Amino acid sequence: MKQTISILVENQAGVLNRITGLFSRRAFNIDSLAVGVTDDPTISRITIIVDSGNSVVEQVEKQLNKLVDVIKVRTLEENNLIGRELMILKVNANNKTRQDIMTICEIMGAKVDDISPSSMTMELSDTPERLDTFQSMMRPFSILEVARTGVIAVQKGALLLNIDSQAPNAAAREFLASGGLGWIPSVLRPEYTWGDSRFDFYLEHGGRRCLAEVKGVTLEEDGTALFPDAPTLRGIKHLEGLSRAAAQGFACCVLFVVQFSPAAAFAPNRRTHPAFADALRAARDAGVRVLAYDCAVTPESMVLRAPVPVTGL
């Protein structure tokens, strides 16, 4: 089990060596290590990823706290942290492959830092899993160089954040089945294909047909929940499909499930993907209901809690 340990230390020579020495003496393997100064130049934050059980990490915490240079040690829970890693990757590129590479960069949210007649260099800051995905997508083009920083992480305020990608649909299904749209459906069918898109739910009630698409929201800035956290062409396709279905007489909605609470508002993340924000506004204007709900989250469950104002359209 991977654990994330965040350590605040005095920014002095030899501190990092003493901390890593503590791990090596106990034969604990470090998967990732990143160091940087905080807003106070006399203090550094060390983020360490280790693959060990809870009891082992507790022992490590106790030993770290005994070191004179250590100010604070905290083990960050997976569902209550924001963690990112930076990768810079160079691949072979020519006139035939450059456009394909650019398309993948757009989808994954990678930035092109350098381009030459024979290569391209990109950077991507995201979770380790998305970096792994991006790296695997680049392998067919022949990777020349890769550099990764290791994960840096901080605790996410006082919010308990659910990051299970399956949880929004499960919570939405309970919400829809219990009359969340204002009526109890006589038919509630998941994974429904209409036109060239597959939507999360198809519902019927009193002769009314409804399509519902669910989007999980985990990004928060100053109390506002934002979606998406990376460009999503698939999300745009769903919105366009809902707009066409609304024109054909379907009652359509897109439900943004905010995977924490409270949230002061929800807004499309125009800075990250302006085209999605435009598509959401167009869908609303076409008659698609845009709903957002935050969730009551515990370590064991997540249920929709209260409606959240939708802004930025």
CA dist., res. 118 & res. 140, Å (int): 15
- Judge whether 105 and 112 are in contact, CB under 8 Å: yes
CA dist., res. 32 & res. 2, Å (int): 10
Residue 121: name the closest of 91, 87, 86 by CA: 91
CA distances from 230 to 17, 94, 269 (A): 37, 26, 9
The structure tokens 């409804």 sit at 210
The structure tokens 């398309």 sit at 103
A 10 A CB-CB count for 89 gives 21
What is the enclosing helix (H) or strand (E) of 72? strand 70-76
- Judge whether 225 and 217 are in contact, CB under 8 Å: yes
Q: Look at residue 176 in the predicted model and tell me its pLDDT.
A: 94
Which pair of structure tokens corresponds to residue 264?
């002061």
**CA torsion angle for 154, 299, 230, 7 (degrees, to 10)?**
10
- The pTM of this model reads 0.54
Per-residue model confidence as pLDDT tens for the chain (313 residues): 678 888 888 888 888 888 888 877 777 778 888 888 887 788 888 888 887 665 667 777 777 877 778 888 877 777 667 788 899 999 999 999 999 999 999 999 999 999 999 999 999 998 888 999 999 999 999 999 999 988 887 766 656 677 677 889 999 999 999 999 999 999 999 999 998 889 999 999 988 999 999 999 988 888 899 999 888 888 999 999 999 999 999 999 999 999 988 888 999 999 889 999 999 999 999 999 999 999 988 767 889 989 999 999 8
CA dist., res. 119 & res. 146, Å (int): 13
Which pair of structure tokens corresponds to residue 11?
């920014």
CA dist., res. 201 & res. 251, Å (int): 12
| 219 Cβ contact partners less than 8 Å away, ≥ 6 residues apart | 225, 226, 227, 228, 229, 269
- Judge whether 63 and 24 are in contact, CB under 8 Å: no
Which pair of structure tokens corresponds to residue 288?
């698609």
CA dist., res. 296 & res. 120, Å (int): 45
Compute and round to an integer the Cα radius of gyration of the chain: 23
